[in-house]
Structure formats: C-alpha cells, structure tokens
Amino acid sequence: MTGLAWDGRAVAGRPSRARRTGVAAGAVPEEVVVNRYGFTLRVRPEMVAEYRRRHAAVWPEMVDALRRTGWHNYSLFLAEDGTLFGYVETPASLDEARAAMAAQPVNARWQAEMAPFFEGDGLPADQMMGTLEEVFHLD
C-alpha cells in the first residue's frame, strides 16, 4: 500500500499507522504502510498453562495462513490471571484481516480448538477481541 502517511497521532476509532521498509536482496526498498492493533482477551485462569503449551506449537498451516492474510509482527502476551494482550500489524483494517482469516479452513479448526480456553460469550476468540486505542508510540 502506498500513498498513506502517519502523522504520529492515534485517533480514537482508527488504527495507528507506521511505515515499514521491506528490502529483498537486490531489490529497491519499498515503503509499506501498516496498521498497528492491540487487543485483549481473557483466558480461563485454570487453562493458562495449557494455552501456553498449545501456542508453543502453533500448527504450521495456521502460521502460513496468518502470513498469507496479512498478519505480521503478531505477538501474544499472557499473564497468570488469564489476561491476554495481543499485538499485530497488517496493511488492512483489523476487520479485513479477521475476515481474510475467517476464509481459511485451518482457522475454523484452530478457533474450534481454542474456544474452550476463553472467557466470554462463546464466540470464537477472533470475534471477541477487545481492541485498544494506541495512546503512545516510539519508533
């Protein structure tokens, strides 16, 4: 994506944006604008250890699907009380990135396996993400 600029300020209801320069061997650097998103979920406290174990061995086809659908620099952080914080960068909106993953057959299998781990209203975890507003960023 080109033509988008980030002025350094997060705006409520909109993602913050950053520029990343990708350089392949022998290629001209290309600037790509990415959107940064933070989100939270709640893992059932009694399932924290098993959640960690499962994420130590994420299926390769799930990782491939995430990459293909624009999920980059994706991290999950988990506290002992079950608070889960996620961070992801994508050239799309978070809704578009989630929709792209929803179209991947492996995602349906992964979400079904992960559903019992989460507190909430029974929706798949990727539909219960509580998005956060970025209030500060330092490159």
Q: Is there a catalytic annotation at residue 72?
A: no
Cα(31)–Cα(19) distance, rounded to whole angstroms? Answer: 6
Closest by CA to 94, choosing from 26, 7, 15, is 15
Backbone angles phi, psi at 51, to 5 degrees: -60, -45
d(CA 19, CA 68): 19
Over the Cα atoms of the chain, what is R_g? 16
Distance CA 8, CA 127 (A): 28
Say which of 14, 55, 67, 109 is annotated catalytic.
55
Rounded Cα distance between 88 and 51, Å, is: 19
User: What positions carry a catalytic annotation?
Assistant: 55
